[in-house]
Amino acid sequence: MTQTSLKISADFDSGNIEVIDASNPSRTILAIRPDTRSPHFQWFHFKVENLHVGHAHAFSLNNAGQSSYSRAWSGYNVVASYDHEHWFRVPTTYDGAALDFSIEPTEPQVYFAYFEPYSRVRHDRLIEQAINKAGLELIATGKSIEGRDVQLLRRGDGNASKRNIWIIAQQHPGEHMAEWFMEGLIERLQDVADPVMAQLLSVANLYLVPHMNPDGSFHGHLRTNAMGKDLNRAWQDSTEALSPEVFFVRQQMEQYGVDLFLDVHGDEEIPYIFAAACEGNPGYTPHQQQLEEHFRRRLSEITRDFQSRYGYPRARPGHANMDLACNSTGERYKCLALTLEMPFKDNDDAPDALTGWSGKRSKQLAKDVLTTIAEMIPVLR
């Protein structure tokens, strides 16, 4: 059998791969490229062309064992798509050093990624949809290091008698499920016949930052912005020079106030959806504790895609990392402040072998979170 060589590319939005050895089209050796000015790496996203339809093609990421969260590869399956629209999981194994996966393609070209990517083109459409169809207003635009827009949207008139709900997403640029979540939020806000949203909006202003780290995502980073800064470790000392994305949002929060803060992320290792809170803050209040328990209990009643058995170890009193958005904001505003984590793998309480955790499921979770928030408005202050 003559074999044409595979064409492998990652020179596009959120692309990340290095070709180590593509001389054997049935087994290609690849590596993940680190973030700019940072040793972090885990996110990958690339396209393969000239595949032999119906033949097995294997790929090996040979530096997976040195990635930021090497334990995360156990129980993980790579996502693939022929059209960059419909994504499915492919068989994947991890031997402690390399991540190996394979496909018998039905098309001559395929995309692979760490998770279903949320593109910058889709982001731009989402902002338009939010403004033109979901009644949101673009009230301020920050700039990333490289000059990309960081939009702050608001639904509500900003009246000070209302509760101010802040939801931000994708500080960590490789956590693409976070902007899928924001798309779900905006989709629900579009439904004018939704009585829960009508009630919520009569008593609350919603402030949304759909994407905190556009440079990092564009460059295919896992963790950092274009200066190599982890934005969710920059909330104490954010600067315009190193972390203008956080600097901007903190300024806007000061201007409008915060009664509830949700920071949306993805977790590489844990196959469940959970919320981390600010129990380790020096000024942690009993009211904050009640609100955290209320949120966790209610959301887990509404959906199997949330639980509170599994998550991060709780911080000891007074030992919180105050550089985190959740802790910093909870301390400053003495409000309910949570980091919401979705899996890269799957929800082991409700697994889906075809897709694992996905963009679609992230969107549905957002709609259920809105129900929980709507119910909690009377007790927030």
- The residues that touch Zn ion, with contacts defined as CB under 5 A, are 172, 175, 265
- Give CA–CA dist 218/213, Å, rounded: 9
- Give CA–CA dist 334/313, Å, rounded: 22
Kind plus residue range of the DSSP H or E element containing 208: strand 204-209
**Which C-beta is closer to Zn ion: that of 105 or that of 356?**
356
Could you say which of 175, 179, 268, 341 is catalytic? 341
Least Å distance, CB 230 to Zn ion, is 9
H helix runs in the chain, sequence order: 120-132, 177-189, 195-203, 214-218, 244-256, 286-302, 325-333, 359-376
Q: What would the DSSP string read from start to end of 58-81?
A: EEEETTGGGSTTGGGGTT---EEE
Distances (CA, A) of 173 to 4, 31, 241, 288, 362: 35, 19, 19, 29, 16
Active site residue 269: no
**Which C-beta is closer to Zn ion: that of 106 or that of 236?**
236
**Which C-beta is closer to Zn ion: that of 172 or that of 334?**
172
DSSP state of 33: P
Least Å distance, CB 248 to Zn ion, is 19
What residues contact 66, with CB distance under 8 A and at least 6 apart? none
Least Å distance, CB 232 to Zn ion, is 6
**Which C-beta is closer to Zn ion: that of 155 or that of 172?**
172
**Which C-beta is closer to Zn ion: that of 116 or that of 259?**
116
Question: Do 376 and 291 form a contact (C-beta atoms < 8 A)?
Answer: yes
- Give CA–CA dist 210/190, Å, rounded: 16
* Catalytic residue list: 341
